[in-house]
Chains A and B, each alone.
Chain A
Amino acid sequence: MSEAVLYSLVVGATVGFAAGYLGSIMVLEKMALVGDALSHVALPGLAIGVLLHFNPLVGGFAFLFVSAVLIWHLGRVTKLSFETLVGATFTLALAIGILLFGNNLDALEEALFGDITKVGAIEAAAAVAISVVVIALTRIIYRKIVLGLISEELAISKGISVARNNLLYLLLVSLTVAIGIQITGTLLVGFLVVTPAAAAKTISANMSRYLMLSSIFGAVSAISGVLMSSAFNILPGPLIVISGIVIFVVVIVIRWRKKLTY
């Protein structure tokens, strides 16, 4: 196993776990498409990184960060849902990104679909550190966000700032998406925050099981995708998606066989 594959496995496992953990909120908030669409916003930032010769992931994160704050602010001002606002901006970001990449099709392909051969020790260490921070911060706001979902009034009456937690949450999603891009690419990274959580919700009667399964499904999808990518020399992004979908189908069959009602 090459060093790049080893590092990619580390990135895949930690980012998959963190994305599954974070994504469980996204599915509860019925914002699944937000996670998917938000990831495309990184594309212009990646392109600027390539053009100006700095780490494209930094550019990607900067774009995600600014977009998340902008979307959060517009949501407060206009009372439009995150889904609507992200839907309105992501195609624009995709278009700008593709224009900026111009004829540099190799770099565009790498940005869209990921490339595990470019993952080194620094990227792996950053992924571990960021994932740990993301999970720790998400743990802190998780109960508050869930209480806000149960009843926003109730959360506010307990002194919880629903808007501030939502902003922090969007920023954490941006961070996770930014580090996930290197193995899945911008087109497919949204998958990691949606499908593992959707699968976990199908067979979970309580929150702790839901969180645990969502995180494990995310990590397993990413690890198996990276291993297959290395074995068959194919882009990792699509293989991660297919691994996750296999898990989803298995879970649906389990639910059906066990006649689960929740």
Chain B
Amino acid sequence: MEAQGDVILKVSNLRVEFSNQPIIENVTFEIKRGVTLAIVGPNGAGKTTLFRALLNLIPYEGKIEWGGKIKIGYVPQILSVRDIPISVKEFLSYKNESVQDMKDVLSSVGLDSETIINKSLATLSGGQMRRVLIAWAIVDKPDVLLFDEPTSGVDLDSEEAIYGMLRKLTAKNKITLLLISHDLHIVREYSDYALALNKCPVFFGESKDVMDPATQKLIYGEAICREYGGDHV
């Protein structure tokens, strides 16, 4: 079943369990096309599990409805590319064979496309690697992008620059972005809405409200699963 209207994703009563232990439960939210939704929460809160369920990689109960025929892009937190002799061009070709598209997208993430396209991934710096990953995420022009920790392993200055770029690119290409982040400051600055998980959703609303001390206590305090007052956005 498809979500109606401008809604691109509707999740109802999602529950995922592993060995009879619930990892996440009672997850209900919907988002509209073009927004950026940040998923936040402590380690083990079920953020990556939510992504896996959205991608249909694991069994779940409840309902996940995507709005129409859409292309979903996914960038996992861990990509094992350092030990593979693969050039940037070969890496991007997994998603889009057009060299012109590759060069355009590499330029759009602030890289010198002519020189970097033939470099081995193993020789890139941490910052370059993250930019290549963003290029890789958008080179096949997805409608929705699921990005697990876009800046893990990157210093603070580069983190801001990368999020700024990601916001610009998703706005320009009309991409709905779902990202996982640990940094509430980043979430407030660079996302429209936030979904806080602590086994179950403890907050769903505009990102500017996520810094509220009472909300933070809910997110990082002891997990208490109850009905939450999230609105649809």
Contact = CB atoms under 8 A, between A and B. Distances in A.
A200 B144 CA distance: 39
Contacts of B83: 28
A153 B57 contact: yes
Contacts of A40: none
Contact of A206 (B56, B76, B78, B86): B86
Interface residues of A, number: 21
B87 A206 contact: yes
A206 B118 contact: yes
B80 interface: yes
Interface string A200-213: 01001111111000
Nearest to A204: B85
A151 B85 contact: no
Contact of B80 (A150, A206, A207, A261): A150
Interface in B54-93: 55-57, 72, 74, 76, 78-81, 83-87, 89-90
A9 to B, nearest CB: 30
A205 B80 contact: no
Interface stretch (B24-32, B119-127, B184-192): B119-127
A251 interface: no
A154 B76 contact: yes
Interface in A222-252: none
Most chain B beta carbons < 10 A, residue from A153, A201, A205? A153
A149 B91 CA distance: 12
A143 interface: yes
Nearest to A213: B85
B74 A205 contact: no
Contacts of A201: 85
Contacts of B89: 206
Given A143-B94, A153-B52, A154-B76, A207 B57 contact: no
A151 B78 contact: yes
Contacts of A206: 85-87, 89-90, 118, 120
Contact of B76 (A153, A210, A261): A153
Nearest to A28: B84
Contacts of A153: 52, 55, 57, 74, 76
Given A147-B94, A157-B74, A206-B120, A262 B84 contact: no
A154 B95 CA distance: 11
Interface residues of B, number: 24
B94 A205 contact: no
Given A153-B57, A157-B55, A205 B87 contact: yes
Contact of A262 (B56, B76, B90, B123): B123
Given A147-B94, A157-B55, A262-B123, A207 B78 contact: no
Contacts of B79: 150-151, 154
Nearest to B52: A153
A156 interface: yes
A100 interface: no
B66 to A, nearest CB: 13
B85 A262 contact: yes
Contacts of B57: 153, 156-157
B43 to A, nearest CB: 18
Interface in A134-158: 143, 146-147, 149-151, 153-154, 156-157
Given A151-B80, A154-B74, A210 B123 contact: no
Contacts of A208: 90
Contacts of A262: 85, 120, 122-123
Given A206-B87, A207-B85, 19 more contacts: A28-B83, A143-B94, A146-B86, A149-B80, A149-B84, A150-B80, A154-B79, A157-B74, A204-B85, A205-B87, A205-B119, A205-B120, A206-B85, A206-B118, A207-B84, A207-B86, A207-B87, A261-B122, A262-B85
**Closest CB pairs A-B (n = 6):** A206-B87, A205-B120, A204-B85, A262-B120, A210-B85, A262-B122
14 contacts: A149-B84, A150-B81, A153-B55, A154-B79, A201-B85, A204-B85, A205-B118, A205-B119, A206-B87, A206-B90, A207-B85, A208-B90, A209-B85, A262-B120
